[in-house]
Each structure stands twice: as C-alpha cells, then as structure tokens.
C-alpha cells in the first residue's frame, strides 16, 4: 500500500536558549507518534538529515539579532507554507531584547575583548517584525502540551485551542488562592496571557510574565498603580516588565513610563 | 599535491549553532577552526543593574538544556556574597533537582544525540525504526529526569521554584515518594545503558588531558566542592579567576578558556569528573564502569558516552536515596538580606563546570556579572581533539571524515547556546 505523503516539518533556530525546540523532544511519550505523523525534514538539534523545502510547517525558535538572521528568516518564510513562532524570543525578542533599551556597543565592550569580531544588530526583534507569521505560541519556554495541541490541530486542519485569557483565569480554574491578595506578592497574572499551567502562583510565587502580555490591551497601568500602593519603588516596577517579553509592545510601553 | 577542504556549515545534534572548517595540505592539518556562530546575547551586560534575586531566573535563559546549572550557580554565588547558609534538606532538594537535570540531559545526549553516530544512523528516529523498544526506554529515562524537575521546579525548562535562600515552596514527602518506583526502574535501566554503549566501537584517540572538575569529600560532586585538576590544582571556587582565563578569538562568538599559569587548554565534563572523582562513585556505578572495561581514568573522548552512562547510574542511585530519605525543611527558604558584597559560585553542569561571579551594591543591585560556561572552556580541547582525529583519518573520504569530526565534537555534548557564547564544518584539502 502506498503511503500517503506526510506533512513536512522543519524546526528553525535563531537567537535563543534552545529550550523551546527541546520542548518538542521533551514530548517523550508522544515523540515517536509525532515523528510518524510528520516527516521531520529539518531539525538540527535532533538529526543530521537535511530534507529540502518547501516545508508544510515551520516552527521557528529565537529572535532576529544579526544581519544574516534577517536574510535567513526571509528564506525560511519563502520555503514554508505555514510558519509558527515558538517561545518568547520568537514572539517578542526574548531576554536578549533588553539590549533594545541600551546602547549595544556598551554591551559588546562589556562582554568581548575584541568588539570588532562581533556582528550583531542593535536590537533583538520578534520574527513577526520581519515576516508574516501564521500563529504564535507564547512562553519562556513554551508549554509542550500547547505545542502538541498546535501540531495536532494543524495536522487535522482545525483551529488550535490555545486560550488567550489572563493568567488569573488559570488560578481560578485551578483553585489557587490569589498570591497578591493573600500574601501581598506582586503578580503579573492580570496582564499576562495564560498557558504555563499556573506554575508560579501554585508555588506561592507571583507570575513573572513568561507568556507575555494579554492580547487586547492589558490594563498594565492599573496593575502598576497597585504595585506602587503595595510599596514597590519605580525601579522594581520597571524591572517586572523588563524581562523575557520586554520588547512586546504593551510591556515595553509600560516599562518606558518608568524611565526616570 | 592535493588540497582538501571539509566544511560543515551547521552542525547537527548539538545545542546551538556551530561550524567546523578544516584545511588539509599534503596530509597535514594546516588550519582547523571550531567556530561558534550562535549570536551573542550579552547576559553579563544586562544582568548589571538587576536585583540579585532576579539573577537565577535571568541566567537560566542562557540554556534551555541545563537551566539548573545557571540557576544554582547564580544562587550559590549570591548566597556566598550574602553569607547565607541553607539547611541540609534544602541542600538535598537542590542536589535532587540537579540529578534530574543530569538524567534528562545525559539520557538525551547518550541515546538521542550521540548513540546514532556509533550506529551509523542520522538520528534516533531511524534508531526507533530498528529498535523501537530501546528508544522508548530511553525516552522514559529522559522523562524520569524531567519528572524530578517538574515535581520540584514546576517545569523541566526554566524551573520556577528555585530562589536565593531556598525554594518558593517545597514538595511534600508523598509528592517525592511518587518518583521512587520510576527511579528504581531507572537504576536498572541505566546499568543496561552502560552495557549497551560499552559495546560500541571507539575510534582510538588519547591525549594527556588536564582535567578540571569539582571535588567534594562526601559525594560525587555536582553542586559544590573545590576545583581540582589531575595536575596539582586544588583551589576554592572563589579563586577561579586567578587560575583561569578566557580569550576572544575571531572565529568564535564564545570566549576560549585557558589556564593562566601554564597557558594550556583544559578539559571539563564527564571525563574530567570521572578522573577526579572516581573514588567518590557509589559501588553500583563503579562496578558498572569496571564491567564496561573502564579504568580509574578514561582518556579516549569517544568513550565519554560510556562515562556519561556511568554518571547516569550515579545520578539515578543518588536521586533514589534523596527521595527516600527526604523530610521537608521547616521553612522553604532562609531569609536573605542584601548588602554590598561579592560572591562566587560553581557547579557541575552536565557538560562541566559552570562558574559565576557577581558583585552587589548595598541595595542588592548587580554591579558586575561574569559567567564562564563549560562549552566555552572546552573549545580549545575540542579543536585539539579534532586535529588528531583528522590526521588519524586522512584516508577517509570527505563525507566519512566529516561525520567522524562531527562525532568527535559531539563527544563534548557541546552546548553552543551556553557557550555564546554551534556547527559549520569546512574541510579544505590542498
């Protein structure tokens, strides 16, 4: 019996920690099933086989930080029918986007003895700032269950069921007591997209924003006013918004309001 | 006169982006560069100005494969600076979660990234076609490592529960005991892993390496100890920068590690730990190593896969003991007060020692950060191994030579994301 053609999957890496593509290998119980449902045509972290494009689905990890990246992402887009970005680096520029708020030259000088050997853009930016992206999977790192849901949905030509409500809702559905109300812990839950599985609040810790800003204009100003009322100083408030999703527009804007 | 050029533009089955370029003239290697082109991310620069409590979570983002190495290295350095002592149960939980990271990372590397080289396969998925049950067992082992990370840390990649002073919340005894049956299976399975990989063919290659690893009196060192070499070095972690240096070379975005006194490269990771700490292995791991034909020192880097398997036995045995004797601490963390201070931390990441140094202002803001990851330290040794591999295998056709070189690089399980601070191979034959 002739095999029907399996969709070709490619996994691409730009500037990142490799944690999001590792999440695919972390699907231990489902990995072999995934590998049978698709043809893994390009996934350097897992195989030295390099299959030619075009690809049915490209997963893109990492942010754009070099002139070469800009060219390469254009080529990936041309070779891909669907392009999905995975993780905070790809969807918002990642932690390395902290350079966007500073002078890159100072950064290079601080880390490298020969700054002239280093080729880097002044900014770290999301993939969607450069090419059309069909779907974004948030998180630092992504949640592997969301990745499996996404793959399953795309293979079955349905819409992925990825909630875009606030992290607060995960506390409510899980029955986690609000850490901000009960313990006075600063928490980004009201302005951050759900998806991690309620990790920090369930450990008694305030959400620190791995999944980035809620889609529809999160009310960050109301939250920071509450932070201030709890006694946090301006620098601490700014630091909360300057982490893995610092360059996402809503967080960027809020943190810039605290530039003194 | 013939010239050969071997060029690998993007190395596979490593973490991050690297390349290799070799130029061979008249049967001699004229030029060899193991390059890391992973773009720099400047962690040490943007840690400056952050609060000391933020360092573990930020440093974790250096590497998705070994976040615990970065979280605990930063935590240890802050605790050193602020003179914080943690009670034994917190220390035990940290070792347990680190064992989880070793199990996950070593299982991934031994089975999914490195074993295919010895079997002549492009990847573990092809291996699964030949022996599905083997790959399923490998994945189960890897998952047990991740389960430890999840139970204690919340998730395997960038766990959220560790902080300076301890944990946000500690697991209950029952939560940890649920891991015990799986760990008992894992101990047996890793013994089988050692037997399996010991049967592979190892290309001959031996060098008189300078090994550097942590050493601890009471255990196979993972999270603390003194820095010890096989050539007489024995220093506290805080003296690291007096003895080790980093060079910035043009072909790599990762700084190259050297030892100051002798200006020689040194080697960190499984072979180094095994040579320095062979007497600290538990009886099961030591017997498994002996049965696999390993002496007290292993100098063939291709046998690192066997040593990793031995370390898997050790990590599973240790994890099981820690789970079984766990009693939760009275408080999940001890209080920490900031002050102007300086601290150092160093732990054994799966790939070798990972050093952290921070200077803090009175309010706990970071004034200076320095992190020296294991793969950066191994770059020079990787190049020196490759030179020998190429010269010993000049009879191989370019494609086979390239594969052999890749295998030699994967001996180090290089984590290029970490080191950029990965692989393109170019071989030129003249």
Where residue B186 falls among pLDDT bands split at 50, 70, 90? Answer: very high
Residue B340 has pLDDT above 90, yes or no: yes
CB contact (8 A) between residue B158 and residue A19: yes
Where residue A173 falls among pLDDT bands split at 50, 70, 90? Answer: very high
Count of domains for chain A? 2
Q: Average pLDDT for residues B52-61, to the nearest whole number?
A: 97
Q: Average pLDDT for residues A49-55, to the nearest whole number?
A: 88
CATH number of the domain within which B177 lies: 1.10.645.10
CB contact (8 A) between residue B40 and residue A197: no
| ω into B421 cis (within 30 of 0) | yes
Residues of chain B contacting residue A44, judged by C-beta atoms under 8 Å apart: 10-14
Q: Let me know whether A81 and A180 are in one domain.
A: no
Q: CB of B58 within 8 Å of any CB in chain A?
A: yes
**Summary mean pLDDT of chain A:** 92
Count of domains for chain B? 1
Residue A16 lies in a domain: yes
CB contact (8 A) between residue B54 and residue A239: yes
Residue B310 has pLDDT above 50, yes or no: yes
Burial of B238 (0-12, 13-18, 19+ CB in 10 A): middle
Mutate to test the interface with B, among A15, A48, A186, A258 (most CBs of B within 10 A): A48
List, as one string, the DSSP characters of B236-276: -GGGHHHHEEEE--TT-SSPEEEETTTTB--B-SHHHHHHH
What pTM was computed for the model? 0.94
Give pLDDT, residue B247: 75
Give pLDDT, residue A51: 85
Q: Average pLDDT for residues A134-154, to the nearest whole number?
A: 96
Q: Assess contact for B304 and B197: CB atoms under 8 A.
A: no
CB contact (8 A) between residue B15 and residue A45: yes
Q: CB of B132 within 8 Å of any CB in chain A?
A: yes
Backbone angles phi, psi at B83, to 5 degrees: 55, 50
Task: Tell which of A131, A155, A179 closes a domain.
Answer: A155
Is the model more confident about B425 or about B297?
Answer: B297
**How near does any CA of chain A get to the CA of B279, in Å?**
33
Task: Tell which of A96, A124, A155 closes a domain.
Answer: A155
CB contact (8 A) between residue B10 and residue A44: yes
Q: Let me know whether A137 and A32 are in one domain.
A: yes
Question: Which residue from B16, B39, B50 is facing A18, i.e. has the nearest CB?
Answer: B16
CB contact (8 A) between residue B146 and residue A26: yes
Where residue B416 falls among pLDDT bands split at 50, 70, 90? Answer: low
Residue B266 lies in a domain: no
Q: Average pLDDT for residues B68-77, to the nearest whole number?
A: 97
CB contact (8 A) between residue B46 and residue A95: yes
Residue B316 has pLDDT above 90, yes or no: yes
Residues of chain B contacting residue A13, judged by C-beta atoms under 8 Å apart: 16-17
Residue A162 lies in a domain: no
- Residue numbers of the domain that contains B197: 3-203+325-429
Residues of chain A contacting residue B54, judged by C-beta atoms under 8 Å apart: 239, 243
Mutate to test the interface with B, among A111, A196, A204 (most CBs of B within 10 A): A111
Give pLDDT, residue B194: 98
Of chain A, the percentage scoring pLDDT greater than 90 comes to 80
Q: Average pLDDT for residues B83-110, to the nearest whole number?
A: 97
Mutate to test the interface with B, among A28, A29, A72, A238 (most CBs of B within 10 A): A28
Q: Average pLDDT for residues A173-201, to the nearest whole number?
A: 97
**Summary mean pLDDT of chain B:** 91
Where residue B425 falls among pLDDT bands split at 50, 70, 90? Answer: very low
- Shortest CA distance to A76 belongs to which of A58, A56, A50, A94? A58
Q: Let me know whether A130 and A244 are in one domain.
A: no
Task: Tell which of A99, A128, A155 closes a domain.
Answer: A155
Residues of chain A contacting residue B127, judged by C-beta atoms under 8 Å apart: none
CB contact (8 A) between residue A46 and residue B10: no
**How near does any CA of chain A get to the CA of B280, in Å?**
31
Residue B319 lies in a domain: no
Q: Which chain A residue shows the shortest CA-CA distance from B64?
A: A19
Q: Let me know whether A102 and A222 are in one domain.
A: no
Q: Let me know whether A135 and A57 are in one domain.
A: yes
Give pLDDT, residue B420: 45
Q: Which chain B residue shows the shortest CA-CA distance from A16?
A: B417
Which has the minimum average pLDDT: A104-118, A234-248, B130-144, B370-384? A104-118
Residue B259 lies in a domain: no
Q: What's the gap between Cα B359 and its chain centre?
A: 25
For chain B, state the CA radius of gyration: 21
Residue B269 lies in a domain: no
Q: Let me know whether A127 and A69 are in one domain.
A: yes
CB contact (8 A) between residue B155 and residue A203: no
CB contact (8 A) between residue B65 and residue A94: no
Q: Assess contact for A141 and A89: CB atoms under 8 A.
A: no
User: Count of CB contacts below 8 A, A vs B?
Assistant: 178
Mutate to test the interface with B, among A12, A203, A237 (most CBs of B within 10 A): A203
List, as one string, the DSSP characters of A182-232: HH-----GGGBB--S-SHHHHTT-----TT-B-SS---HHHHHHHHHHTT-
Per residue in A79-124, pLDDT (tens digit) is 999 999 999 999 999 999 999 998 777 777 776 667 666 677 889 9
Residue B376 has pLDDT above 60, yes or no: yes
CATH number of the domain within which A36 lies: 3.40.50.700
Give pLDDT, residue B421: 35
Question: Which residue from B63, B135, B143 is facing A29, i.e. has the nearest CB?
Answer: B143
Which has the minimum average pLDDT: A96-100, B318-322, B358-362? A96-100
**How near does any CA of chain A get to the CA of B278, in Å?**
31
CB contact (8 A) between residue A32 and residue B139: yes
Residue B254 lies in a domain: no
Give pLDDT, residue B20: 84
3-class secondary structure, A141 = coil
CB contact (8 A) between residue A118 and residue B128: no
Q: CB of B297 within 8 Å of any CB in chain A?
A: no
Q: CB of B16 within 8 Å of any CB in chain A?
A: yes
Q: Let me know whether A149 and A200 are in one domain.
A: no
Give pLDDT, residue B258: 73
CB contact (8 A) between residue A203 and residue B161: yes
Spatial distance between the Cα atoms of B110 and B102, rounded to a whole number of angstroms: 11
Q: Let me know whether A36 and A93 are in one domain.
A: yes
Residues of chain A contacting residue B250, judged by C-beta atoms under 8 Å apart: 114, 117
Per residue in A14-26, pLDDT (tens digit) is 999 999 999 999 9
Mutate to test the interface with A, among B64, B161, B376 (most CBs of A within 10 A): B64
- Shortest CA distance to B173 belongs to which of B322, B321, B326? B326
**How near does any CA of chain B get to the CA of A110, in Å?**
6
Residue A1 lies in a domain: no
Give pLDDT, residue B418: 52
- Residue numbers of the domain that contains A203: 167-256
Where residue B259 falls among pLDDT bands split at 50, 70, 90? Answer: confident
Residue A161 lies in a domain: no
CB contact (8 A) between residue A141 and residue B64: yes
Q: CB of B124 within 8 Å of any CB in chain A?
A: yes
Give pLDDT, residue B424: 36
Residue B65 has pLDDT above 50, yes or no: yes
CA atoms within 13 A on the CB side of A240: 26
Q: Let me know whether A222 and A252 are in one domain.
A: yes
Residue B333 lies in a domain: yes
Residue B304 lies in a domain: no
Residue A76 lies in a domain: yes
Q: Let me know whether A74 and A17 are in one domain.
A: yes
CB contact (8 A) between residue B248 and residue A15: no
Give pLDDT, residue B270: 98
CB contact (8 A) between residue A25 and residue B156: no
Spatial distance between the Cα atoms of A246 and A239, rounded to a whole number of angstroms: 9
List, as one string, the DSSP characters of B86-130: --HHHHHHHHHHHHHHHHHHHHIIIIIIIHHHHHT-SBHHHHHHH
CB contact (8 A) between residue A44 and residue B136: no
Question: Which residue from A22, A65, A108 is facing B64, i.e. has the nearest CB?
Answer: A22
Residue A225 lies in a domain: yes
Residue A18 lies in a domain: yes
Residue A132 has pLDDT above 50, yes or no: yes
Helix, strand, coil in percent for chain A, rounding step 5: 45, 15, 45
Residue B1 has pLDDT above 50, yes or no: no
Of chain B, the percentage scoring pLDDT greater than 90 comes to 72
Backbone angles phi, psi at B349, to 5 degrees: -65, 160
Q: CB of B165 within 8 Å of any CB in chain A?
A: no
**How near does any CA of chain B get to the CA of A82, in Å?**
23
Residues 6+ apart with CB under 8 A from B67: A19, B60, B61, B101, B157, B158, B159
Q: Let me know whether A146 and A183 are in one domain.
A: no
Residue A1 has pLDDT above 50, yes or no: no
């Amino acid at each position: 019996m002739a095999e029907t053609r399996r969709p070709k999957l490619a996994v691409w890496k730009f500037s990142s920690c490799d944690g999001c593509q590792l999440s695919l290998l972390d699907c231990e119980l489902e990995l072999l099933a995934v590998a049978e449902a698709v043809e893994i045509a390009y996934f350097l972290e897992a195989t030295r086989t390099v299959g030619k494009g075009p690809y049915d689905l490209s997963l893109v990890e990492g942010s754009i930080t070099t002139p070469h990246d800009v060219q390469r992402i254009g080529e990936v887009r041309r070779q891909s029918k669907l392009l999905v970005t995975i993780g905070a680096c790809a969807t918002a520029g990642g932690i390395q986007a902290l350079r966007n708020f500073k002078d890159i030259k100072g950064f290079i000088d601080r880390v490298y003895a020969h700054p002239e050997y280093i080729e880097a853009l002044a900014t770290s930016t999301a993939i969607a700032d450069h090419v059309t992206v069909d779907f974004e999977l948030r998180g630092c790192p992504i949640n592997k269950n969301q990745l499996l849901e996404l793959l399953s949905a795309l293979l079955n030509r349905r819409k992925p069921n990825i909630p875009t409500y606030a992290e607060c809702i995960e506390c409510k559905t899980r029955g986690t007591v609000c850490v901000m109300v009960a313990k006075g812990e600063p928490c980004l839950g009201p302005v951050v997209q759900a998806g991690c599985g309620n990790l920090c609040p369930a450990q008694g810790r305030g959400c620190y924003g791995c999944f980035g800003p809620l889609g529809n204009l999160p009310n960050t100003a109301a939250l920071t006013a509450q932070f201030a009322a709890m006694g946090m100083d301006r620098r601490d408030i700014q630091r909360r918004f300057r982490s893995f999703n610092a360059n996402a527009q809503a967080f960027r804007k809020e943190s810039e309001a605290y530039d003194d | 006169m013939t010239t050969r050029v071997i060029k690998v533009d993007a190395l596979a089955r490593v973490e991050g982006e690297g390349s290799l370029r070799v130029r061979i003239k008249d049967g001699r290697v004229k030029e060899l560069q193991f390059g890391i082109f992973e773009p720099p991310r400047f962690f040490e620069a943007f840690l400056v100005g952050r609060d000391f409590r933020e360092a573990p979570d930020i440093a974790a983002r250096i590497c998705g494969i070994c976040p615990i190495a970065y979280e605990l290295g930063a935590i240890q350095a802050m605790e050193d600076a602020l003179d914080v002592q943690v009670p034994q149960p917190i220390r035990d939980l940290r070792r347990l979660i680190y064992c989880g990271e070793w199990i996950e990372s070593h299982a991934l590397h031994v089975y999914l990234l490195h074993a295919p080289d010895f079997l002549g396969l492009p990847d573990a998925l092809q291996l699964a076609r030949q022996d599905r049950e083997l790959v399923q067992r490998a994945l189960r082992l890897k998952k047990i490592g991740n389960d430890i990370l999840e139970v204690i840390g919340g998730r395997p990649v960038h766990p959220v529960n560790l902080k300076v002073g301890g944990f946000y919340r500690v697991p209950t005894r029952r939560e940890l005991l649920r891991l015990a049956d799986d760990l008992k299976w894992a101990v047996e399975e890793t013994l089988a892993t050692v037997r399996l990989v010991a049967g592979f063919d190892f290309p001959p290659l031996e060098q008189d390496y300078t090994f550097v690893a942590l050493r601890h009196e009471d255990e196979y060192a993972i999270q603390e100890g003194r820095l010890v070499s096989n050539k007489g070095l024995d220093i506290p972690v805080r003296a690291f920068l007096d003895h080790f240096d980093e060079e910035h070379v043009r072909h790599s975005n990762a700084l190259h590690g050297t030892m100051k006194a002798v200006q020689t490269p040194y080697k960190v990771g499984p072979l180094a730990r095994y040579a320095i700490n062979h007497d600290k292995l538990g009886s099961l791991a030591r017997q498994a190593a002996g049965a696999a034909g390993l002496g007290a020192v292993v100098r063939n880097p291709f046998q690192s896969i066997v040593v990793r398997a031995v370390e898997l036995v050790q990590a599973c045995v240790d994890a099981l003991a820690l789970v079984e004797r766990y009693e939760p601490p009275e408080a999940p963390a001890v209080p920490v007060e900031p002050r102007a201070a300086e601290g150092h931390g160093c732990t054994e990441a799966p790939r070798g020692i990972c050093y952290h140094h921070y200077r803090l202002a009175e309010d706990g803001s970071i004034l200076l950060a320095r992190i020296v990851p294991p793969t950066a330290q191994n770059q020079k040794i990787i190049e020196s191994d490759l030179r020998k591999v190429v010269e010993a295998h000049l009879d191989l056709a370019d494609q086979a030579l390239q594969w052999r070189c890749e295998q030699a690089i994967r001996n180090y399980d290089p984590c290029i994301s970490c080191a950029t601070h990965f692989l393109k191979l170019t071989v030129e034959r003249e």
